Amino acid sequence: MLNLLFPALAFFWQTGTGGRMSDVGNSVTHPDLSKFLVIGALLFIIGVAGVLTRRNIIVIFMSIELILNAANINFIAFSRYLQDMGNVNAVAGQVFTVFIIVVAAAEAAIGLGIVIALYRNKETIWVDEIDLLKW
C-alpha cells in the first residue's frame, strides 16, 4: 500500500517542477500557478463524486456549488498569473468569476424552488425515488 502511496503523492507534489524530484521542496515552499490548478481540480473531482454518489438532492446541489467554486479558483489563479506577467487585461478573470457567482446564486434559487415543488408533490428528496420519466 505504501509502495503505491508514495509515488502517487510524489506525482501530486512534483506538479510544476517539470518532473525533477529535487525541486519538490522548493515547489512546496513556493506554491505557484500549478498548485492552485491542482487544488481546483481536486475540488472539482470531489464535487463530481458528490453529484454521482449521493441520494439526497440537496447535497447534490451543494456539490454543484463546489464544482462552480473549483472553476472560480482556476479563473482567479490565471488572473493573478497574467497580472504578474504584465497583462493589462488580467482583471477579466475576476470579472468572469463575479458572473459565475451571479449564475450560481440564480441556479441555487431556481434549483431549490424545484426541490420544494418536488417535495410537495412526491414527498421525497431521494433522487432514486424520483423516477417518473424512467421506464
Name which of residues 15 to 44 contact another protein (CB under 8 A). Answer: 15-16, 18-19, 28-39, 41-44
Which residue from 6, 10, 11, 21 is in contact with another protein, where contact means CB under 8 A?
11
The residues facing 126 across adjacent strands are 56
What x/- string results for residues 83 through 112 when contact with another protein is judged by CB under 8 A?
A: xx----x-xx-xx-xxx-xxxxxxxxxx-x
Ranges within 44-63 binding another protein (CB under 8 A): 44-50, 52-56, 58-59, 61-63
Residue carrying C-alpha cell 521542496: 25
Site membership for another protein, residue 133 (CB under 8 A): no
Residue 64 sits in the site that holds another protein (CB under 8 A): no
50's grid cell: 458528490
**Rounded distance, CA 108 to CA 112, Å?**
6
Q: Which of residues 3, 7, 128, 133 is near another protein by CB under 8 A?
A: 128
Non-local CB neighbours of 19 within 8 Å, separated by 6+ positions? none
66 near another protein, rule: CB under 8 A: yes
- For 56, phi and psi rounded to 5 degrees? -80, 120
Read off the DSSP letter of residue 15.
Answer: T
